[in-house]
Amino acid sequence: MTTLTDPPRESFRLSMLIYDTRYRSITFQIIALIAFLTLIGWIINNTAQNLADLGKEPSFRFLSEPAGYDINQRLIDYTSQSTHLRAAFVGLLNTLLVAVMGCALATVLGVFIGVLRLSKNWVVSRIMTVYVEMFRNVPVLLWIVLIMAIMIETLPAPRAFKGDSPDATMKLFDTIALTNRGAYAPEPLFTRSLGDLHLFGQSSLNFNISLDLLVLLVVFFGGLFVSRKIKTRADKIQESTGERPTTWYLRLGVVVVPIIIVLIALGFHLGYPELKGFNFKGGTYMRNSLIALWLALSLYTAAFIAEIVRAGILAISHGQTEAAGALGLRPGRIMNLVVLPQALRIIIPPLISQYLNLTKNSSLAIAVGYMDITGTLGGITLNQTGRELETLLLLMLIYLCISLSISMVMNWYNKRVALVER
C-alpha cells in the first residue's frame, strides 16, 4: 500500500520578500511608507531647526494676546482688545456665514437655470446658455470686484435718505434701505425673550446663543418630522388603495402653526432701521462687501451647478417621461416627481465639489475687505505677530475640517437617495 504525503513546506527566507509574489507587494508598500515618513520627519526637523536658528520656535501663545484691530462684520461680540483667538473665531463664523448663504442661493439658482436650459422655448434656453457661459468663463475674483464696484457706484449714500424730499427712499414699505455701505433690514425682536445661552464660559471663544432661536428651531424641525410622518402614512395608503389622500394642508399646518404660536408667545415684533445722523441705526446690517461676495460666489457657482443639473436630467431615460406623460401627468409634475428624484443620484456627487469650491473661494473676500478667516487669522494676525507657520497651519486645518464636514454631510445624503438593490 502506497501512502501519499504532502511535500514539505518551504522554510521562509529573506529573499522571498523580493522574489516571492506572496510577499513582494507588502514589502514595497512598507518601503514606500518608511520613505514617506522619513521625508516628512526630515521636513519637520529641518523646519524646526531653521525656526530655532531664527529665534522663532513654534508657539501658539500669540493666540491669547490682544488682537488690536477691529472687524467690520461680525456675528458675536468683539472689540479690538479681544484676543487673536477670538478674532480668528469671528472670521471663521463669517466664512461659514458666506458658505451657507452661498451654497443655498447657488443651489436654488443652479437648479432653476439648469431646468430652464432644457426648455423648449428657444429664447429662454439661449438666455440661460448665455448666463452659464458668461459666469463660468470669467474668474470669480472679477465678479466679486465688479459687483462691489456696482454697489458702491450705483446705490445711494445714507445721506441721500435725509430731508423732506430725499433723493432715495427705503424699499418694501419703508423697511429695507439699500445704500452704498450695505443693506439695512428689519431685525427680529422679542418682548418676552427667554434670554441667551452662554457657551464656553469666560474663554476667548465664549458667545451667546439666543434661546428664542433654539426654541424656534426645535419647533421647526419637530414640525418637519411630523410632516414626514404624514407623508409616509399617505404613501402607505396610496400603495394599498391606489388613491393618495390630500395631505398638503396638514403638512403645511404642522410646520407653520406651531411656529406662529411660539412667535406670539414670545412677543415677536420687528425692529426697523432708522436714519440717525449720517447713518442708519437699528435693524440687521449687511455690509456691501458681504453682499458682493455672497452674490458673486452664488452666481458663479450656480453656472456650474446648472450644467450639473442639466447633465443629470439628460441622463434619465426619455422613456421615463413618456411613461409619466402616458399616465396623464403634466410636464411640471413629471419633472418634480419623476425626473429630478432620479437625477439627484447623478447630481449630488459633483455637487459636493461645487460646495467645496464655493467655500474655498470665499477666501477671496480680502479683495473687497470682508473679514473672513483668511482676512483675520491669515491676514492681520499673521502680519502683526509674524507667526507665518502657525497661522497658515491653523488656516489649512480649519479649511480641511470645513471641507471634510461638507463632504460627510453630502455623502450621507447621497447614500439616502441612492438606489437600493434587492
Q: Which residues contact 394 (CB under 8 A, 6 or more apart)?
A: 60, 88, 377
pLDDT at 422: 47
Tell me: pLDDT of 3 over 70.
no
The Cα 334–Cα 308 span in angstroms is 19
Per-residue pLDDT, averaged over 120-125, amounts to 90
| Residue from 379, 375, 381, 401 nearest 61 by CA | 381
Q: What is the mean pLDDT of residues 1-12?
A: 59
Check whether 43 has a pLDDT greater than 90. Answer: no
Name the CATH superfamily for 62-154+288-417. MetI-like (1.10.3720.10)
Q: Is the pLDDT of residue 278 over 50?
A: yes
Residue 83: strand, helix, or coil? strand
Cα 248 to Cα 286: distance, rounded to the nearest angstrom: 35
Closest alpha carbon to 68 in 384, 399, 395: 384
What number of other Cβ atoms are within 10 A of residue 316's Cβ? 17
Which range of 119-123, 197-201, 218-222, 312-316 scores highest in mean pLDDT? It is 218-222
DSSP type of residue 4:
-
Contact 238, 232 (CB under 8 A): no
Task: At 68, give phi and psi (nearest 5°).
Answer: 80, 15
Please report, rounded to a whole number, the percentage of residues in the chain having pLDDT higher than 70: 95
The arithmetic mean of pLDDT across residues 289-297, rounded, is 95
pLDDT bracket for residue 13 (50, 70, 90): confident
Distance CA 8, CA 15 (A): 19
Residue 168 has pLDDT above 90, yes or no: no
Tell whether the model's pLDDT for residue 9 goes beyond 80.
Answer: no
3-state SS, residue 120? coil
Find, among 131, 95, 171, 150, the residue nearest to 399 by Cα.
95
* Residue found under cell 455672497: 294
Beta-strand runs (E) in 68-200 = 177-179, 182-185, 187-190, 196-199
pTM above 0.95, yes or no: no
Please write the tens of the pLDDT for every residue from 71-112: 988 888 888 888 999 999 999 999 999 999 999 999 999 999
Q: Quick one: what percent of the chain has pLDDT higher than 90?
A: 46
Give the pairing type, strands 268-271 and 187-190: antiparallel
**Could you say which DSSP state residue 335 is in?**
I
What phi and psi values does residue 185 have, to the nearest 5 degrees? -125, 165
- The DSSP H or E segment spanning 416 is helix 388-417
* pLDDT surpasses 50 at 152: yes
Average of pLDDT values for 397-412? 91
| Domain boundaries defined on the chain | 62-154+288-417
